[in-house]
Chains A and B, each alone.
Chain A
Amino acid sequence: MFSGVIYTARDQAHKRLVELIKAGKKLPIDLKGAVIYYCGPTATPKGKVIGACGPTTASRMDEFIAPLLKVGVVAMIGKGRRSAAARAAIKKYKAVYFLAPAGCGALIARYVLKNELVAFADLGPEAIRRLTVKDLPLIVGIDSQGKSIYQDL
């Protein structure tokens, strides 16, 4: 179970962040020590903190993982397998990849206490949001040794 701050970021946000890193430009958020959540939530219903917000497929972000780990990201939350290169990067930087309950966006919403838009608002659902979560159920997908829960698949 995880309690703390996580930042939502998926395909387009990753593409932008890596472009900024490569160009030596300032990032919209400080990624040092950050936990990234591969997620694009639905719109937020009236009176709720967040809409459905389950994990998206992590492997689509594999090509962006190394530069983000290099600037200090310590953990990522998503679903599914990751490439051998991604596993190697996780091992190199001693990061961790967690699995969140896949396809369970309504359930996961219950663990979100706060939801703030922090960057890339123009990306709509793919914007970067700072979420404060409490007791979010997670499973270790790839540990900091690069060992994957999916070795048999």
Chain B
Amino acid sequence: MDNKTIKQKVKELTARAGFELPDDVLGLLKKAYAAENNKKAKQALGWILDNAGIARKYKLAICQDTGLPVVFVEASKLSASQIKAIEDGLAAGYQAAYLRPSMVDPLKRDRPSYRGSKIQIDFDPAISGIKISLLPKGFGSENKSQVKMFNPTASLAAIEDFVVEAVKKAGPEACPPFVVGVGIGSTSDGCLLLAKKALLGDLGKNNPDKELRNLEQRLLKKINALNIGPMGLGGKTTALAVKILKAPTHIAGLPVGVNISCHALRKARLIL
């Protein structure tokens, strides 16, 4: 696969990610709408569903915050020029699809551009091509990220309280209903990356790890009991799902990261 094709395919992926709310997210939003009795909350969910339909049909951005492109690349081998082709594809895609230039120098705050992606590369000898997962991350939710370096002896209950509290602090500003990503283990930055990676998982599939699955279900219940609801207007659904990933950590620590996604969880995958 030559770099020109990589750039073109990523360009197309970018548009798809911006216009099409994924089926697993849509499915949970429809369920939430059907189950909702609170009038204001139901109206908000109705707007969200109408919006998704309009965006998909007319090829418009779901949300004006078309995000900072976070990309997870998996391959058995990869070159710098291939990564550059991916970066070029993202910038070309944002421009061609009339998305929003949202990236700036953090201190200069110059004119926003289409360049400034976060690319995570994972090498896996089992992969023959290049797997690209795009998560354009909006910053209303990103701004509510939290990390806590727990003591290694901390209880699961303490971790649960931290996650629920993080969601409570996020409140309406992060655009509920949320998908809550949690990363447990690794390092301070590692657990936040896991939390973000967790958002890519199929919301309709259960966590293969039984302990994490139970934790996800308990957290979802506690989060929905907060009664924040869509746009913070109350109601049954504050979060659509909780997804957890874990990784080995140091004997002296227990890092836990929370990365919240808004209801416009845009994610798209491509295998080259």
Contacts and interface: CB of A to CB of B under 8 A. Distances in A.
Interface of A: 12, 39-45, 48, 51-54, 56-57, 59, 79-81, 99, 101-107, 109-110, 122-126, 137, 139, 149-150, 152-153
Q: Which 3 A-B pairs have the closest CB atoms?
A: A80-B173, A52-B61, A104-B51
Contact of A54 (B40, B64, B143, B227): B64
A41 B64 contact: yes
B233 interface: yes
A137 B47 contact: yes
Contacts of B54: 106-107, 110
9 contacts: A44-B98, A51-B61, A52-B61, A52-B62, A59-B173, A99-B231, A101-B51, A106-B61, A149-B232
Interface string B49-75: 011001100111111111000000000
Contacts of B99: 42-43
Contact of B51 (A99, A106, A139, A152): A106
B64 A57 contact: no
Nearest to A104: B51
Interface in B242-263: 262-263
Contacts of B101: 43, 124-125
B172 A79 contact: yes
A15 to B, nearest CB: 9
A150 B231 CA distance: 10
Given A40-B100, A125-B101, A153 B61 contact: no
Contacts of B66: 42, 52
A39 B40 contact: no
Nearest to A44: B98
A124 B104 CA distance: 11
A43 B50 CA distance: 21
A42 B64 contact: yes
Most buried by A among B98, B143, B172, B234: B172
A148 B168 CA distance: 17
Interface in B157-180: 171-173, 175
A81 B173 contact: yes
Contact of B61 (A80, A105, A122, A152): A105
A57 B171 CA distance: 11
A150 B227 CA distance: 11
B100 A51 contact: yes
B112 interface: yes
B44 interface: yes
Nearest to A121: B111
B201 interface: no
Contacts of B60: 45, 48, 51-52, 105-106, 109
B62 A153 contact: no
B47 A101 contact: yes
Contacts of A40: 64-65, 100, 102
